Chain A
C-alpha cells in the first residue's frame, strides 16, 4: 500500500499522472498546491472521490490556501499525522 503525496495543482500533469497510478487501498495526501484538489464541487474533487484511496489534506498548506474551511470529506492532518501516515504505508511516492 502506497502513500501518494501530491503537491501540484489539479490542472497539472502530476495530478493526472497520480490519478492514473493510484489504487484502492492507497492513501493520498494533498499538500502544497495539491490542496486545491480538495475544493468541493469541482471535477478534480470528484475524481479524488472516485479513485478509491483514503484522502488526507495537510493542515497548514490548506490554511494558507484558504481551502481549510471548505474541506469536505478529507481528513485534515498536521505534521505528526503526516508522519503517522508514513508509518502506516510502507511506500511513499511524491507527485510534483
Chain B
C-alpha cells in the first residue's frame, strides 16, 4: 500500500530514570523509521537532556536506556540534540562545555550534540509531524 513518507521531529521532555516515556520515545523513533519515514531530529529539552548521559549505571537485568538512542544515531543517522541551557542545568556537558565551565569531565555520550533551541524550532518548522514525549 502506498504511504507518503513524512518527516518527523521528536521532542523528549522526560528523564530516562523517571517512568517509561523516554524509552517509548526511542521505540517510537525506531517504528517511525521502520515505516519508511525520516526523522529530522530528536530534540531533548529540560529533564529529557538526561538521556544524553554516558554515566548512568543500570542494574544488569534492566533494559539499556542509552543503547537505543546510540543505535538510532550511529546506525540510522538520526540527529540527537540536547538543549544547551537545560543540559547545563542537568550536568549534561560534552568535553567542550566541561572545559569551558571548568568541570572535571564531560558527561554526555558522543552520539548526542549540544545546541540551542533554534534546532528545535528548525526541526519543527520543516517537519510534517512533531511528536512530544513527556512525563
Verify whether A and B have any Cβ pair under 8 Å: yes
Chain A residues near B (Cβ < 8 Å):
5, 7-8, 14, 31-33, 58, 61, 64, 79-80, 82-84, 86-87, 90, 92-96
Q: Complex: how many Å from CA A14 to CA B35? A: 30
Number of interface residues of B (CB under 8 A): 25
Residues of A within 8 A of B67 (CB): none
A7 contacts B129, C-beta separation under 8 Å: no
Residues of B within 8 A of A14 (CB): 135
Q: Known A-B contacts: A83-B34, A94-B13, A95-B135. Give 19 more (CB < 8 A).
A: A7-B19, A8-B135, A14-B135, A31-B20, A31-B24, A32-B20, A58-B24, A61-B20, A64-B20, A79-B31, A80-B34, A82-B31, A83-B28, A83-B31, A87-B6, A90-B129, A94-B132, A96-B14, A96-B134
Q: Complex: how many Å from CA A80 to CA B31? A: 6
Chain B residues near A (Cβ < 8 Å):
3, 6, 8, 13-14, 19-21, 24, 27-28, 30-32, 34-35, 37, 128-135
